[in-house]
């Protein structure tokens, strides 16, 4: 401690605190006690009996401490701060404010929903009386068409806006409530906003007639062709005309098509497509492309590009889709022209005051890179992905494709390329943590590296990549439970790790989600083959060949037959040898009978394989 009496000057005060009494400084700066106590404490430290005896500088210090000493020694904790903030908020609540908020928030959400979404109302479609008597009424058809449209739009993942399909009973107007403080109702406000933004509900109606035969084609009349419906040859037909118009009465159009009279599923699907053709042709074109109907997709995009009423965003999307289709058709020159046109159109619409909505030129570069990657021009593909990232630094798809291109180059398991691929895919996941596809692709890169490093099941299953691949696949399935490909890939990983019962469950799930998934059936067959369950394995391989005649399951089928043949011959030889030594042994007789039955089944399976293999070879190039 300082002495009892310290010279009452500032130099002595500071020196005392610095040399001997740092606790005093801490208490003073912490604003410890009430002003009177602080005053006495400071005077004691300074060696003075009263404030009046202090110099002016010392007196200013003590006065400052007195002003701040009323504050607490310890700052309030986080709980106290939160409690205090909540009390202030609750005090600000009044009945009027709460009532206003309860009314205002739903109103704003409703107005936003009604004036930004593209609402499509499916009105009744006039059907012949004979169909209504069969239970297929206008209401039933409208509901089925609505479901078909929702399925098609859900299957097409696009950044463009989709229609909000409603049935008449779902398009009920809200009650005419007047906004407080204004002599205007909600319905009136919705109408004003729709008029300002030129957004009106679209209404769909239609007529259907039954004819004994298909009418002759009228010159100049355009008929919509449904690729999912068998061509009309003979017999009664249903001729449908679908009309589309806005609530304002402008932009009315119609589409006509013909289907067989008894093909109600085809009628529903064709009606849904006819509606999309008029209301959202891009979704229909994308749907056709995903189903492999490239010619139909190109016809639709041609019509879109000729339509002057479509926005530049829609036309950019159409050009990108054309590029994708041409790439699928191996027409690289036309594909590149389409991608370039989309890039140029996007460049023209960017200004300091205008930041347009997707799709952008980055999407064109992404798909252009995908085409080059498919042609194994990996360096050029990576250049396109980098250009996409330059335009959009948060383009998770470009990073994902970049990582896959690096992995495609990595044929020998190079560790540096492997790390680079993983790094790009992890970046894609950070940018878009909800991307099931990114997790799926990252798992594929990890599993490929694991297979390159470990050819035996034990080390493969013990590697960290094995468990990481499973974790990422499970995350992908969590994000997209309906993705059959993710279940199939997880089945492959379990199969390579010899966890057969887990692999069996995943392949089963994949084939339930996609009953025609040839690769999943092939992998499932290999699960049975690895356990020497030859008939079950062959049954799955047959399914794979049925859905894809060019599938490699034919080779696995052949291997299964060879193993089964060897096993059945060995079993027959052993049982007959045992029977020769024990003629009276009934178990030996049963074993010989069973072995001969297995031999006969194998021979029958071999004949069936020879027939199907010959047919499959006809499909191979």
Q: Assign 293 to helix, strand or coil.
A: coil
Evaluate if residue 181 carries a pLDDT over 60: no
Element (H, E) at 572: helix 553-581
Specify the range with the lowest mean pLDDT, choosing from 93-97, 236-240, 363-367, 435-439.
93-97
Phi, psi (deg, nearest 5) at residue 258: -130, 135
Given a cut of 60, whether residue 32 has pLDDT beyond it is no
For residue 533, pLDDT over 60 is answered with yes
pLDDT band at 436 (very low <50, low <70, confident <90, very high): very high
**Structure confidence at residue 435 as a pLDDT band (50, 70, 90):** very high
pLDDT of residue 396: 94
219: pLDDT strictly greater than 70:
no
436 near 480, Cβ under 8 Å?
yes
Where does 24-182 show beta strands of DSSP type E? 118-126, 163-166
Measured on CA atoms in the order 313, 318, 319, 324, is the torsion positive or negative?
A: positive
Q: Which residue has the higher pLDDT, 471 or 95?
A: 471
Of 98-107, 207-216, 380-389, the least confident: 98-107
Alpha-carbon span 384 to 359, nearest angstrom: 16
Q: According to the model, what pLDDT value does residue 471 have? A: 97
Range of lowest pLDDT (221-235, 471-485, 542-556): 221-235
Q: How confident is the model at residue 192 (pLDDT cuts 50, 70, 90)?
A: low
Placement of tokens 């806005």 in the chain: 246
- Contacts of the segment 468-476: beta carbons below 8 A, 24+ positions apart: 468/443, 469/443, 469/444, 469/493, 470/443, 470/494, 472/439, 472/440, 472/442, 472/443, 472/446, 473/439, 473/440, 473/443, 475/436, 475/439, 476/436, 476/437, 476/439, 476/440, 476/443
Superfamily of domain 280-359 in the CATH hierarchy = Tetratricopeptide repeat domain (1.25.40.10)
Least confident of 23-27, 426-430, 535-539, 555-559: 23-27
In the prediction, which pLDDT does 520 show? 96
Taking residues 519-533, what's their average pLDDT?
Answer: 94
Q: What is the per-residue pLDDT for 528? A: 95
Where along the chain do its domains lie?
10-73, 117-278, 280-359
Mean pLDDT calculated for residue range 345-354: 72
Lowest average pLDDT, out of 153-162, 175-184, 399-408, goes to: 175-184
> What does the pLDDT look like over 299-330, one tens digit per residue?
999 999 998 888 888 899 999 999 999 999 99
Cβ atoms 217, 224 nearer than 8 A: no
Instruction: Give the residue with greater pLDDT, 530 vs 194.
Output: 530
Q: Please report which confidence band the pLDDT of residue 565 belongs to, taking 50, 70 and 90 as the band edges.
A: confident
Q: Percentage of the chain surpassing pLDDT 70?
A: 67
Residue 450 pLDDT greater than 70, yes or no: yes
Q: What is the pLDDT of residue 223?
A: 80
Using the predicted structure, report yes or no on whether residue 357 has a pLDDT greater than 80. Answer: no
Give the pLDDT band of residue 123 (cuts 50, 70, 90): confident
What is the structure's pLDDT at 511? 96
What is the model's pLDDT at position 164?
64
* pLDDT classification of 428: cutoffs 50, 70, 90: very high
Please say if the pLDDT value at position 427 is more than 60: yes
pLDDT band, residue 69 (cuts 50/70/90): very low
Residues of the chain with pLDDT > 90: what percent? 35
Q: Which of 353-367, 377-391, 409-423, 524-538 has the lowest mean pLDDT?
A: 353-367
Q: Are 282 and 292 in contact (CB under 8 A)?
A: no
Question: Which range in 40-54, 212-226, 388-402, 553-567 is most confidently predicted, on average pLDDT?
Answer: 388-402
pLDDT of residue 336: 97
Total residues belonging to the chain: 621
DSSP classification of residue 51: G
Please give the order of strands across the beta sheet that includes 202-211. 163-166, 118-126, 202-211, 237-246, 253-260
> Does 40 score more than 60 pLDDT?
no
- Scored b (16 or more CB within 10 A) or e, 590-617 reads ebbeebeebbeebeebeeebeebeeebe
> 497-517 burial, b if ≥16 CB within 10 A, otherwise e?
bbbbebbbbbbebbbebbeeb
What pLDDT band is residue 411 in, cutting at 50, 70 and 90? confident
Q: Burial code of 431-449, b = ≥16 C-beta within 10 A, e = fewer?
A: bbeebbbbbbbbbbbbbbb
Q: Would you place residue 500 in the very low, low, confident or very high pLDDT band (cuts 50, 70, 90)?
A: very high
Largest Cα–Cα separation, the chain: 130
For tokens 């020159």, the residue is 333
pLDDT band at 275 (very low <50, low <70, confident <90, very high): confident
Whether the per-residue pLDDT at 554 is higher than 50: the answer is yes
Mean of pLDDT values over 133-145: 86
Predicted local distance difference test score (pLDDT) of residue 186: 62
89 pLDDT higher than 70 = no
3-state secondary structure of 177: coil
**Whether pLDDT at 582 is above 60:** yes
* Confidence band of 56 (pLDDT split at 50, 70, 90): low
């Amino acid at each position: 401690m300082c002495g009892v009496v310290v010279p009452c000057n500032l130099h002595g005060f500071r020196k005392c605190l610095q040399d001997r009494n740092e606790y005093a400084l801490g208490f003073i700066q912490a604003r410890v006690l009430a002003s009177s106590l602080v005053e006495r404490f400071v005077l004691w430290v300074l060696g003075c009996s009263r404030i009046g005896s202090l110099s002016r500088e010392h007196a200013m210090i003590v006065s400052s401490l007195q002003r701040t000493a009323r504050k607490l020694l310890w700052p309030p904790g986080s709980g106290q701060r939160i409690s205090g903030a909540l009390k202030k908020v609750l005090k600000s609540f009044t009945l009027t404010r709460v009532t206003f908020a309860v009314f205002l928030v739903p109103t704003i959400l409703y107005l936003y929903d009604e004036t930004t979404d593209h609402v499509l109302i499916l009105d009744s479609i006039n059907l012949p009386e004979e169909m209504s008597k069969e239970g297929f009424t206008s209401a039933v058809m409208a509901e089925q068409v609505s479901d078909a449209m929702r399925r098609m739009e859900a299957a097409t993942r696009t950044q463009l806006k989709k229609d909000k399909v409603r049935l008449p009973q779902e398009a009920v107007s809200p009650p005419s409530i007047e906004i407080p403080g204004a002599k205007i109702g909600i319905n009136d406000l919705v109408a004003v906003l729709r008029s300002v933004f030129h957004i009106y509900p679209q209404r769909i109606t239609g007529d259907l007639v039954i004819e004994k035969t298909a009418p002759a084609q009228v010159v100049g009349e355009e008929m919509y062709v449904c690729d999912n419906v068998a061509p009309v040859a003979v017999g009664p037909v249903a001729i449908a005309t679908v009309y589309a118009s806005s609530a304002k009465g402008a932009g009315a159009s119609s589409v006509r098509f013909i289907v067989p009279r008894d093909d109600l599923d085809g009628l529903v699907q064709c009606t849904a497509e006819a509606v999309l053709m008029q209301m959202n042709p891009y979704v229909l074109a994308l749907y056709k492309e995903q189903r492999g109907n490239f010619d139909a997709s190109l016809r639709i995009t041609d019509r879109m590009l000729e339509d002057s009423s479509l926005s530049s965003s829609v036309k950019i999307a159409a050009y990108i889709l054309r590029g994708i289709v041409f790439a699928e058709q191996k027409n690289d020159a036309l594909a590149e022209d389409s991608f370039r046109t989309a890039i140029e159109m996007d460049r023209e619409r960017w200004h300091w005051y205008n930041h347009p909505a997707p799709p952008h030129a980055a999407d064109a570069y992404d798909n252009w890179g995908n085409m080059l990657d498919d042609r194994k021009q990996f360096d050029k593909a990576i250049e396109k992905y980098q250009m996409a990232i330059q335009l959009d630094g948060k383009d998770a798809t470009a990073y994902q494709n970049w990582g896959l291109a690096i992995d495609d180059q990595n044929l020998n398991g190079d560790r540096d390329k492997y790390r680079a691929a993983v790094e790009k895919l992890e970046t894609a996941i950070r940018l878009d943590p909800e991307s099931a596809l990114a997790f799926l692709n990252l798992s594929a890169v990890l599993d490929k590296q694991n297979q390159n490093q470990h050819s035996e099941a034990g080390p493969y299953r013990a590697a960290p990549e094995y468990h990481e691949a499973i974790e990422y696949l499970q995350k992908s399935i969590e994000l997209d439970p309906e993705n059959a490909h993710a279940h199939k890939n997880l089945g492959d990983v379990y199969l390579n790790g010899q966890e057969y019962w887990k692999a069996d469950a995943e392949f089963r799930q994949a084939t339930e989600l996609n009953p025609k998934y040839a690769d999943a059936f092939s992998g499932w067959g290999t699960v049975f083959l690895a356990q020497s369950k030859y008939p079950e394995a062959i049954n799955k391989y047959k399914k794979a060949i049925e859905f894809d005649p060019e599938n490699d399951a034919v080779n696995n089928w052949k291997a299964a037959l060879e193993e089964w043949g060897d096993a059945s011959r060995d079993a027959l030889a052993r049982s007959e040898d045992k029977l020769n030594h024990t003629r009276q042994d009934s178990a030996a007789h049963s074993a010989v009978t069973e072995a001969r039955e297995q031999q006969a089944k194998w021979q029958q399976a071999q004949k069936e394989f020879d027939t199907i293999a010959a047919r499959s070879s006809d499909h191979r190039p």
